[in-house]
Amino acid sequence: MPTADRLPLSVWAPRAERVRLLAGGRELSMRPGVGPDDGPSDRPEDEGWWVPAEPLPADLGDEFDYGYLLDDETEPTPDPRSRWQPEGVHGLSRTFDPSRYAWSDGLWKGRQLPGGVIYEMHVGTFTPEGTLDSAIERLDHLAELGIDFVELLPVNAYNGEHGWGYDGVLWYAVHHSYGGPAAYQRFVDACHQRGLGVIQDVVYNHLGPSGNYLPKFAPYFSEGGQNTWGDSINLDGEESDEVRRYIIENAHMWLRDYHVDGLRLDAVHALLDTRAIHVLEELAIETEALSTFLGRPLTLIAESDLNDPRLITSREGGGYGLNAQWSDDFHHALYVSLTGDTSGYYADFESLAALGKVFESGFFHDGTRSSFRGRGHGMKIDTLRTPTWRLVVCQDNHDQIGNRADGQRLSGKLDHQQLRLAALVTLLSPFTPMIFMGEEWGAATPWQFFTSHPEPELAEAVAKGRLEEFAQMDWDPEAVADPQDPETFARSKLDWSELDRAEHAELLAFNRELLRLRRRYPDISDPRFDRALASADDEHDWLVIERGEIIIAVNFSGEPAELEVPEVQQVLLTVGGVEVDGGAFTLPPHGALVARIDLQDRERPGPI
């Protein structure tokens, strides 16, 4: 089983003919050696690993700054596996021993994803301070809401003080402005004390452009291969064994050393791998082994725009064996139903039937033509064998909000009654629902694309590339905030004082009630696709979802909608106020009904 442990300060640098270690201000020689001590017993000493030639001086102590001098260089380079970069990604690395932390989560046995609810959080904008320690102070809010997992946007080290985190260049280090690795341990420990699991968003498909020193050490990147964000990782070329090991050991560092419960794998469609065992399957195999050893569930969630069910199909069934994946189709169908926006990739989701199909089939694009792509897209999910919880759904997430021209949340487009509809459809779906931070009270603050690149030319290139990437979304360039402007970052921070206002507090209470219903009635989260029956009317803009004895009727229109459904036994929740007479009722504009029905009287609903 791969482990992040290695010989003290050893480094993989096959491209160097000479390596020296700068430790505590002293230059020490290194010699060729073996890699991590759990490697194959027949591993030769000529595979590019370097180890200190002599024992480290005793007076260095346990914590000191260090870096590597490659060949004839006079300026040290940070450790590719650095755990701590207190002076940023261009500075020296600092030793950090994760085993020295006294964990208080000894009784924590993990949390399974089925039945769970995820809360997506960006550390830098979750609190005014933007640190892991300050985030701890708000964890009780999440526990009281009914959250099961906190999903952190990437926390690995990147250049600059603030950003989204997807331009990380040192995957093993926790970003210095968040508090570093010790603060990360305190955060995970505090989550577990409150019954909250932690999912860490990791980016293995590219590295950021500033502070990326890996090519100096070894062939971490494919020759001539690029994806949307930069050079492709070398997953299948020469020396790719060690590159894959670098990824898997990083994943296991989070899961083992930091007690994390799962990983969200960014944009796995950009992981170009032609080997017989895809790196995702290899990661699933190794993570399953680690889970067996640790005695707690470990979850792998993919972000993918492929609509390929093989990602979440078990290895026994010929798939990669990941636990779950994000479902863009759910978001797109719900977003269009709420806003009427059919620009760009939203065009195919104009009909309410698209949202109904997602409830019944998982994917909307399951081999159908995608007008945005100009071709057929996706593959059908085997709904008889695939549980619904394998799809993670949301009404908004960091990508969808931040990738709008003005960074506006749904709360900037909808009134609070419509926001109730969005929450109801998402949180009472049979999938694994995810809430983006602040969504639970309808936060009015935007979440814009922000950067702090120290290099002006890089900042300009990133801003220009962003406009080109979203050219098909009918953006008004004048509405796009300057990502380098500090105010863009400041505007994106949550305003917790909003909870003192009645309309925000009421929406928070509504979300809390939805999660209570989700846990009280098993039909709501029943993971069997064949328990779902969806009916939609594009003329009157209503959607009815039946799952067992639970019925959910939603009116997306600004006009009343009259419906008749099987005999209602008990009204569980309404939006806008609904009077029910047997199975007949009128939904007010942007109104909704959640009720228990008489299964013996079940027929497809329709207009009166």
* Three-class SS of 198-243: EEEEECCCCCCCCCCCHHHHCCCEEEEEEECCEEEECCCCCCHHHH
Q: What residue type is 498 in one-letter code?
A: E
Tell me: is residue 264 an annotated ligand-binding position: yes
Q: Exactly one of 242, 281, 303, 546 is catalytic; which is it?
A: 303
Q: Is the pLDDT of residue 42 over 50?
A: no
Asked if 527 and 387 touch (Cβ cutoff 8 Å), the reply is: yes
Confidence of residue 3 (pLDDT cuts 50, 70, 90): very low
Asked if 359 and 398 touch (Cβ cutoff 8 Å), the reply is: no
**CA distances to 38, 100, 112, 252 from 5, in Å:** 8, 14, 27, 10
Q: Is residue 203 part of a domain?
A: no
Q: Residue 580's beta-bridge partner residues?
A: 585
User: Which of 69, 97, 125 is at the close of a domain?
Assistant: 97
- Cα diameter, the chain: 86
Q: What percentage of the chain has pLDDT greater than the value 70?
A: 93
Confidence of residue 5 (pLDDT cuts 50, 70, 90): low
CA distance 480 to 448: 9
Give the ranges where 403-549 is alpha helix by DSSP (H): 416-427, 456-469, 486-491, 502-520, 522-525
Q: Which domain holds residue 579?
A: 533-607
Confidence of residue 45 (pLDDT cuts 50, 70, 90): low
Catalytic residue list contains 303 = yes
User: Which of 77, 97, 117 is at the close of a domain?
Assistant: 97
* Burial profile 149-164: b = 16 or more Cβ within 10 angstroms, e = fewer: bbbbbbbbbbbbebbb
Please state the rounded mean pLDDT for residues 351-357.
97
Asked if 70 and 16 touch (Cβ cutoff 8 Å), the reply is: yes
Catalytic residue list contains 598 = no
Confidence of residue 470 (pLDDT cuts 50, 70, 90): low
Task: Indicate the range of 117-131, 142-156, 393-407 predicted with least confidence.
Answer: 393-407
Three-state secondary structure string covering 388-437? HHHEEEECCCHHHHHCCCCCCCHHHCCCHHHHHHHHHHHHCCCCEEEEEC
CATH number of the domain that 50 lies in? 2.60.40.10
Q: Is the pLDDT of residue 602 over 90?
A: no
Q: Angle at CA 404, nearest 5°, toward 403 and 405? A: 115
Q: Is residue 51 part of a domain?
A: yes
Please state the rounded mean pLDDT for residues 426-444.
98
Confidence of residue 564 (pLDDT cuts 50, 70, 90): very high
Q: Angle at CA 114, nearest 5°, toward 382 and 166? A: 90
Q: Quick count: other Cβ atoms within 10 Å of Cβ 252?
A: 23
**Can you give the pLDDT at residue 213?**
96
CA distance 491 to 447: 7
Q: Is residue 564 part of a domain?
A: yes
Tell me: is residue 332 an annotated ligand-binding position: yes
How is residue 158 written in tokens?
């990147």
Q: Is the pLDDT of residue 328 over 70?
A: yes
pLDDT in tens, 488-509: 999 999 999 999 999 999 999 9
Tell me: is residue 269 an annotated ligand-binding position: yes
Q: Is residue 424 part of a domain?
A: no
Q: Which stretches of 57-112 are assigned E, i.e. beta strand?
A: 65-70, 93-94
**Can you give the pLDDT at residue 40?**
44
Confidence of residue 480 (pLDDT cuts 50, 70, 90): confident
Q: Is residue 595 part of a domain?
A: yes
Residue from 135, 129, 56, 143 nearest 95 by CA? 56
Structural domain count, the chain: 2
**Can you give the pLDDT at residue 489?**
97
Q: Is residue 35 part of a domain?
A: yes
Tell me: is residue 401 an annotated ligand-binding position: yes
Query: Which residues, 6+ apart, have CB-to-CB distance to 523 below 8 Å?
Result: 531, 547, 548, 549, 550
CATH number of the domain that 551 lies in? 2.60.40.1180
How is residue 478 written in tokens?
């004048």
Confidence of residue 256 (pLDDT cuts 50, 70, 90): very high
Three-state secondary structure string covering 23-57? ECCEEEEEEEECCCCCCCCCCCCCCCEEEECCCCC
**Can you give the pLDDT at residue 41?**
41
User: Which of 56, 81, 97 is at the close of a domain?
Assistant: 97
Confidence of residue 514 (pLDDT cuts 50, 70, 90): very high
Return the DSSP state at 77: B
**Can you give the pLDDT at residue 457?**
83
Parallel, antiparallel or unpaired: strands 262-265 and 230-233: unpaired
**Can you give the pLDDT at residue 38?**
44
Q: Quick count: other Cβ atoms within 10 Å of Cβ 14?
A: 17
Tell me: is residue 403 an annotated ligand-binding position: yes
Q: Which stretches of 111-187 are assigned E, i.e. beta strand?
A: 118-121, 149-152, 156-157, 170-174
Rg (CA), the chain: 25
pLDDT in tens, 84-99: 999 999 999 999 999 9
Q: Which stretches of 228-282 are assigned E, i.e. beta strand?
A: 230-233, 262-265
Q: Is the pLDDT of residue 538 over 70?
A: yes
Mean pLDDT over all residues of the chain? 93
CA distance 366 to 561: 31
Residue from 233, 236, 238 nearest 250 by CA? 233
How is residue 586 written in tokens?
């009128």
**Can you give the pLDDT at residue 608?**
42
CA distance 542 to 587: 9
Taking the CA of residue 504 as centre, how many other CA atoms within 13 Å lie in the half-sphere pointing to its CB? 16
Collapse the DSSP code of 197 into the 3-class scheme (helix H, G, I; strand E, B; otherwise coil) and give the result. strand
Phi then psi for residue 124, to 5 deg, are -65, -20
Tell me: is residue 331 an annotated ligand-binding position: yes
Crossing angle for the helix pair 328-339 and 416-427, to the nearest 10 degrees: 150
Task: Indicate the range of 147-156, 223-232, 392-401, 542-551 predicted with least confidence.
Answer: 223-232
Tell me: is residue 540 an annotated ligand-binding position: no
Q: Look up tokens 């024992």; give the residue.
A: 55
How is residue 597 written in tokens?
């029905």
Q: Is residue 158 part of a domain?
A: no
Q: Is residue 481 part of a domain?
A: no
Q: Is the pLDDT of residue 175 over 90?
A: yes
Tell me: is residue 581 an annotated ligand-binding position: no
Tell me: is residue 94 an annotated ligand-binding position: no
Please state the rounded mean pLDDT for residues 441-445.
98
